[in-house]
Chains A and B, each alone.
Chain A
Amino acid sequence: MKISVFGCELTGLVTAGALAHAGNDVMALPVGQVKVEDLVAGRLPREEPGLDALLAQQYQEGRLQFEADWQDGLAHADVLILSTPSWRLDRAEALIELIGETVERDVLVVNQSTFPVGTADRFEQRLLDAFAKRKLAINVAVVAMPDFISEGSALDNFMRPDRIVLGCRQPGSIKIMRDLLRPFNRMTDQIKVMSTRAAEYTKYAVNALLATRISLVNELANNAEHFDIDFEEVRQGLGSDSRIGFSYLYPGCGFGGPSFAADVRSLVGDLQTKGYDADLLRTVLSNNEIQKEVLFRKAWRFFDTDLRGLKIGVWGLSFKPNTSTVENAPSLKALEAFAAQGAQIKAYDPKAMEDFAASWQGAQPIELVDTMYEAIEGVDALVILTEWKLFWNPDYAVMKQKMRQPIIFDGRNIFDPDIMKQQGFRYFGVGRGEEI
């Protein structure tokens, strides 16, 4: 099939790469800042495991091309996939206008972007009106196919999805989409067909539910500390309940990332514009912002409200492992709090230090170092903000030797409190470890 993907952020590139990999003739076109020459040269806007290799291979084999001119994309394909970040609705509107003005044959638009509920219907109506004005009898459909890919496992998410939500009511379009997605829908039928609005809302609802679950787990874990309970034991008890399950049950120092919280926030905002309220979700969001400082608060109390001149080592800056992104990451907020109290910070992250340096707005500069052990040299405490696998089994002896004080504040609960105690560390996790 001939396909054009508009948008070369993570979702767009994964979609383009995967569809080319399945034998389609794919053209990918940026809608925002991304430059075609960077894509051709293999410089991707985000690091993502396996993606650069996949794109390079598809590009070399000729099934994937990158172009800047949207007209080329419209001329190239019958299926147009829209994959912009949620805050680039303006670019999507411009593209729809261009389609309405230039396309002369049947067209299927697939929207992967997270836009407000009702956007796909509105786009479809705009195209119908535009073609009617041009007196063209063309079949038009705008299908909603929200993306559920996560950074760090994006390719896998796309190629072996849990389910594919397809917002579409026209049998002809459903048929084309089923054919297109066939390579990724083999073992059992994972495609859930529903109205476009339901599909759009499902995306928001999934994020809202997960965010709420994380915030509730965090609250339960924070409170467990006051009863001298190890929340890890409680987690086992909770997860084994079939009504609850184990996923998204880890407490931690808050969630972040470019779209998760943003999607929930825009849902709350859309509802407010319409005059409705979403009390619970607003609380979830504000609780998460407070949770981002949970390690700061522990250190604040441990060091008796005076952090001036303390040296703090940090492991992990990205909002989750295997990504180079710090957007909305707890690291930004937590370290800003430490810095504002006059603590000196040294940090290490395997991939996100560049992005962190560009995003940092704290009171004083943070020293970014090349290894995890350098980050703890002479420090009064270690703060763990991202659970990169690299951090799980460090050399405890080296750590103790390097740290001025063997104190660990662990926002991802990657260590066992008993072992840490045995090793001579003061260890404070979220919902486990020592109580302050």
Chain B
Amino acid sequence: MAVDQSKAWQKLDALAKSGAADKHLKTWFEQDPNRAQRYAIELDELFLDYSKNRIDDEILTALFELAQQQALPDWIDRLISGEEVNDTEGRPALHTVLRAGTDASIKGFAASVQADVKDQFTKMTAIVNKVRAGHWRGYSGKPITDVVNIGVGGSDLGPLMVTQALQTQTSPINLHFISSIDGTQTSNLLKGLNQETTLFVLASKSFTTIDTLSNAETAKDWLEERIPSLNTIMAQHFIGVSTKPDMMSEWGIPPENQLLFWDWVGGRYSLWASIGFPIALKVGMDGFFDMLAGANLMDQHFAQAPLEQNIPVVMGLIDVWHINFLGIQAKAILPYDARLRYLPAYLEQLVMESNGKSVNRQGETVNYKTCPILWGEVGPNAQHAFYQLLHQGTQAVMSDFIAPVERDDFDRYSETHKNESLRYQHRLALANCFAQSRVLMLGDAAIPDNLKSSFDSAFKHYAGNQPSNTLLLKSISAKTLGMLVALYEHKTFVESVMWEINPFDQWGVELGKLIAKDTYQAMLDAQQADRFDGSTAQLLNRVKMS
């Protein structure tokens, strides 16, 4: 029986239809003054206020019934112990074991890989320390100063997002990221770098990703302009990160420069494994392990907290309510700190590559909505862009506001003008964050009485009733980032369990890659364009003409 036919689902559907779907958030707050205190959960340095969602106790109870009906606690256990929850590819999804350290309570297949994980972290530690201490040398003997991560998707977004988020921490190494297949990032970046002091990290789970390998070839050509010995290029200027040691060796990377991970780590979960190498270069292995510890804190919470107090569970279920019973199809990620600028892009992959599916685990087409369109932007910037649509458009949108309570990049006790200005800016950002979620919730009701007259126009009408979560982090640190990312991973998993889909495969990205190869061949041979549809043939012919 499909989940939408189930008892718990039907109950939720009935609740929505019997008035809950039409009730305005404003009303809920008016009727229940203690709502905010009740709908909040704190875990260590993370605080969630979920009161601005279109829910009440009755709806939440029904959602927890749905979770029980879908055997969520059992699924969580299966995930963490390493059962083959990725059934279409026949493997577990064990990102949690990467951050469990030597935890003895780990069981099942997960326990069997702990030693491998430890070995790779030991190897990674040695390399990271050597590079950060200035003892990893380029061909001429100068210390490496610049590290370029070549990777795409999961081999790019995680390290890019986290290193940007931790930009206030000083690092002895300048980090750069190139991902796009077109080569413009690469050629542009290489102009500013020196072969003597540049190290490339070739990061690819499968080691077949054409985007990454083509960028790596360009990097190798650039090194060969100065370095006659290919052995030296490979020994001193490339580090490989992959699940495929044989293919790395074949490409020329010596075993001592290979960092491994395993097929039971999904690409979009690989920042916790050696794909996180650039993160460790940025903040040191201590910082990297802090990030893992933060994630582990969230894992423990996810595995142990009762559903009602379980942050990923609560957030996941509320989104399921919004999506499947209130018809909301869009989700905005709105961090109120520019350091989190790549978080939306990171979550776009994590969430949409995981749950952007329309077939359940049995291979049957589902009759209900799954993953919404997720996008986002640094909140204060987005206020000058798409917030217009949030406030007055025709789309219902659920949002996650994310902000640090403290900032670590200025001295809170210093009285200099610059500190005073930065303090002022931080308060200003938080004030905007709180104001926007309030207006989205209340609409016109947020307008103070003395200003009501100036909003007396259809064009100045705010409907409100747009739901949101607010996540406050104590500060932006390796630890809180670990907590935050693990939270979204688990929330995404919770939703997949409700929808009965496998969140760990990504068959949808394969066909395009395959067809690109064929299309590339056609580009080399003028006669072949005719094999394609009219539009593609026309485009191919345009390129040939130039």
Contact = CB atoms under 8 A, between A and B. Distances in A.
B135 A341 contact: yes
Contact of A301 (B133, B135, B140, B235): B140
Nearest to B135: A340
Interface stretch (A11-19, A290-298, A352-360, A382-390): A290-298
A296 B141 contact: yes
Contacts of B130: 340
A88 to B, nearest CB: 27
A61 B112 CA distance: 81
A145 to B, nearest CB: 37
Contact of B133 (A298, A306, A340): A340
Nearest to B139: A305
A288 to B, nearest CB: 14
A337 B232 contact: no
Nearest to A333: B134
Contacts of A306: 235
B137, B232, B235 pick with most chain A CB within 10 angstroms:
B137
A293 B134 CA distance: 12
B135 A297 contact: no
Given A337-B135, A340-B130, A340-B135, A301 B142 contact: no
A376 B229 CA distance: 31
A304 interface: yes
Interface string B136-147: 010111100000
B186 interface: no
Nearest to B133: A340
A297 B232 contact: no
A291 to B, nearest CB: 11
Contacts of A293: 141-142
Contacts of B135: 337, 340-341, 363
Nearest to A302: B141
B270 interface: no
Contacts of A298: 141
Interface string A262-295: 0000000000000000000000000000100100
A226 to B, nearest CB: 12
B140 A297 contact: yes
A297 B141 contact: yes
Contacts of A70: none
A415 interface: no
Q: Is the interface of B mostly helix, strand, loop or mixed?
A: loop
Interface in B213-246: 229, 232, 235-236
Interface in A318-343: 337, 340-341
Contacts of A363: 135
B303 to A, nearest CB: 41
Nearest to B141: A297
Contacts of B139: 301, 305
B130 to A, nearest CB: 7
Contacts of B140: 297, 300-301
Contacts of B236: 305
A300 B133 CA distance: 17
B142 A297 contact: yes
A340 B232 CA distance: 18
Contacts of B133: 340
A363 B232 CA distance: 23
Contact of A290 (B137, B142, B235): B142
A301 B196 CA distance: 12
A340 B236 CA distance: 14
A300 B137 contact: yes
A184 to B, nearest CB: 45
A304 B227 CA distance: 12
A83 to B, nearest CB: 35
Nearest to A339: B135
Contacts of A297: 140-142
A125 to B, nearest CB: 26
Given A337-B135, A341-B135, A305 B232 contact: yes
Contact of B232 (A290, A296, A299, A304): A304
Contacts of B235: 305-306
Nearest to B136: A340
A341 B139 CA distance: 14
Interface in A247-270: none
A304 B141 CA distance: 10
A428 to B, nearest CB: 13
Interface string A105-141: 0000000000000000000000000000000000000
B143 to A, nearest CB: 8
Contacts of A305: 137, 139, 141, 232, 235-236
Contacts of B137: 300, 305, 341
Interface string B141-160: 11000000000000000000
Nearest to B232: A305
9 A-B pairs with least C-beta separation? A297-B141, A340-B135, A300-B141, A305-B232, A305-B236, A296-B141, A297-B140, A300-B137, A301-B141
11 contacts: A296-B141, A297-B141, A299-B141, A300-B140, A301-B140, A304-B229, A305-B235, A305-B236, A337-B135, A340-B133, A341-B137
Given A293-B142, A304-B229, 20 more contacts: A290-B142, A293-B141, A296-B141, A297-B140, A297-B141, A298-B141, A299-B141, A300-B137, A300-B140, A301-B139, A305-B141, A305-B235, A306-B235, A337-B135, A340-B130, A340-B133, A340-B135, A341-B135, A341-B137, A363-B135
Interface of B: 130, 133, 135, 137, 139-142, 229, 232, 235-236
Interface of A: 290, 293, 296-301, 304-306, 337, 340-341, 363
